[in-house]
Structure 1
Amino acid sequence: MDISPVTAPAASSAEAKSTAALSSDFDTFLSLLTAQIRNQDPLQPADGTEYAAQLAQFANVEQSVRTNELLAQMSAALGAGSASDVAGWIGLEVRHDGPVTVAPGRTTRLHFDIPEVADRAELVALDAAGAEVMRRPLDPDAAHLDWHGGDGKGGQLPDGIYSLQVEAGAGDQALAPRPVRSFARVDEVALTAAGPELILDGGARIAPDRLDLLRAGA
C-alpha cells in the first residue's frame, strides 16, 4: 500500500498560491503564443509541431515547479531532527529518482513520463562522474521499462551505480530531460552533516527528498 509522505496542513495553502501563480503564468504564455500566431508570416506559417512542442515545454516547467514544491514540503516536514523518523523506513520500499544499481541478475523497473507530443525518446545513463555511458531508444508511448543495464543493442553496462534520465523530442524540438523513477528497499540510514541519507539495497545512496512514495517491502 502506498503511503503519502506529505500531511502538513500548510501544504494546501502553499499549493493554492502555487496554482494561482501557475495559472497566471499559463495565461501569459497563451497570450504570447496567440500573439506569435497572429503576427506570423502568412506565406511562411510556423509548423504546428513547433507550437505543440512549446506547450509541452511549458507543461514540463509547470510539472517541475509542482514537484520541487512537493519535495520542499517533504523536506520541511522531515526537519533537521528527523533521523529517528527516517530510520523507521528501513525495510520499506521507496520510489525515487536517484541512482540505479546494475548488478548480475538484477532487473529494475524504470518508471518515466514521456510527453504525449514526443515522437522519439531515449534512456540516457550517466556514471558517477556525470559522463554519458549509455543511450538507448525508448518507445515514446511507453511508461516503464524492465532494465538490467542493457543498451538495447546487445551491449551491457559494467556493474555499478548509474544516474538515469529520459531525453525526448518532437520534430526538430528537443524537450526538457525527464526524471526516471524506480523502487528500491531501504537497508540503512546514514547520518551525515547534510542530514540523514538512505542507503538502498544495491548500495545506491539518496537523500530523503529524492523519493515520492513509500510502500511495504515485498
Structure 2
Amino acid sequence: MTLATNLLSSTTAATPVSQATSSGAAAKLGADMNSFLKLLTAQLQNQDPLAPMDANAFTAQLAQYSSIEQQIATNKNMESLLDVQRANSMLSATSLVGQQVEVASDSVTLRSGTAQQMQLPALGQAGTARQALVTVTDASGTVLRQATTSLGSDATSWRWDGVDSRGKRVVDGTYKVAVTGIDSSGAATGPLDFTLRGTVDSVSRSGDEPRLSLGSLSVGFGNLRRL
C-alpha cells in the first residue's frame, strides 16, 4: 500500500487548507482522491494472498481524506461569511458619503492650495503639552513648514495653507504631517494624536477594507475616528 500512502501524504502536504482557496483545494483533493482509489484498487488486485493489506490502515487513510474534505467545506463557508461581512462594511461606509468626518492619517493632500483641516487634541488629552508643533514634510523627508499653535480646552483646528517656510506656494500633492507637544518650558513632550477633518466624497474597497475618500486623501475605514 506504499504508493497509495505516498499519494495521500503529498495531498495533505500540497493542499494546506489555510493557504489555498477552497475551490482550488477541493479540485485538487478530488483529483488526488481519484488517483488514490485507482492505486488502491490496483494494490488490492495484486496483493500477496499470504500478506493481505491491512484494512485498518485503508480505513484510516480514507478517514484522512474525509477530514480534509470537511476542512475545505468549512473554509468555503467561512469565505462566504467574509464576503457577506465585506458587503455589509461597504454598505455601512457608503452611508458616510457627503458627511463630515474625522480620520487618523499621517498624510495630508494639497489640492488647489487647500489641505484637510487638522484637529489638534484638547489640553486634557495632551498630557503636559501646552502647544503643538506641526511639521509638514515632502516625500524625501525635507521639512517644508513648521508652525506652533496653542492648545485650548477644546480641540484646536489648524489647516496648512500650502505655503512653505519661505512663503512659497508648493505644488499640489500628498505630504507627510506630524504633531509634537511642547510644554510650558518649551520642551518637547512627544508626538500628539490628531485627526484630519473633511467630507467623504466616495467609498471604494481595497482588499477586505472599505476606503474613504476625502478629496484626494484616501484612508481605510478603520481610520475613522469621529462623525
TM-score, normalization by structure 1: 0.51
Partner residue, 1:86: 93
Question: Where does residue 26 of structure 1 map in the other structure?
Answer: none
Q: What is the aligned partner in structure 2 of residue 125 from structure 1?
A: 136
Q: How does 1:64-83 map to 2 (within 5 A)?
A: 80=86, 81-83=88-90
- Measure the CA separation in 2 of the matches of 1:93 and 1:189: 14
User: Where does residue 211 of structure 1 map in the other structure?
Assistant: 224
1:199 aligned partner: 213
Counterpart-to-counterpart distance in 1, 2:226 and 2:142: 28
Equivalent in the alignment of 1:179: 193
Asked whether the equivalents of residues 93 and 183 of structure 1 are also in contact (C-alpha less than 8 Å), the reply is: yes
The range that moved more, 80-89 or 140-149, is 140-149
Match of 1:146 among 155, 159, 165: 159
Residues 7-156 of structure 1 correspond to what in structure 2 (within 5 A)? 80=86, 81-98=88-105, 99-106=107-114, 108-113=116-121, 115=126, 117-118=128-129, 121-128=132-139, 131-141=141-151, 143-151=156-164, 153-156=166-169
1:165 aligns with 2:172: no
Deviation at 1:207, TM superposition (A): 0.7
Percent identical pairs in the alignment equals 22
Q: Counterpart in 1 of 2:32?
A: none
Mapped to 1, the partners of 2:175 and 2:220 lie a distance apart of 16
Select the structure that is richer in helix: 2
Q: Which runs of 5+ in 2 are unaligned?
A: 1-84
Equivalent residue pairs, number: 134
Q: 1:156 is aligned with what amino acid?
A: R
Where structure 1 has 5 or more consecutive residues not aligned to the other structure, the ranges are 1-78
Cα distance change on mapping 1:105 and 1:172 into 2, 3 Å: closer
Q: CA deviation at 1:140?
A: 3.1
Deviates most, 82-91 or 136-145: 136-145
Give the TM-score of the pair, scaled to structure 2: 0.49
Q: Which has the larger radius of gyration?
A: 2
SS at 1:179's partner residue?
Answer: coil
Describe the shift of the 1:119–1:152 C-alpha distance in structure 2 as closer, same or farther (beyond 3 A): farther
Kindly indicate whether the alpha-carbon contact (under 8 Å) linking 1:118 and 1:140 is maintained by their aligned counterparts in 2. no
How far apart in 2 are the matches of 1:157 and 1:176?
28
Q: Distance in 1 between matches of 2:115 and 2:93?
A: 26
Instruction: Summarize the Cα distance change of 1:107–1:125 in structure 2 as closer, same or farther, 3 Å threshold.
Output: closer
Deviations 1:14-72 (Å, cap 9, x if unpaired)?
Answer: xxxxxxxxxxxxxxxxxxxxxxxxxxxxxxxxxxxxxxxxxxxxxxxxxxxxxxxxxxx
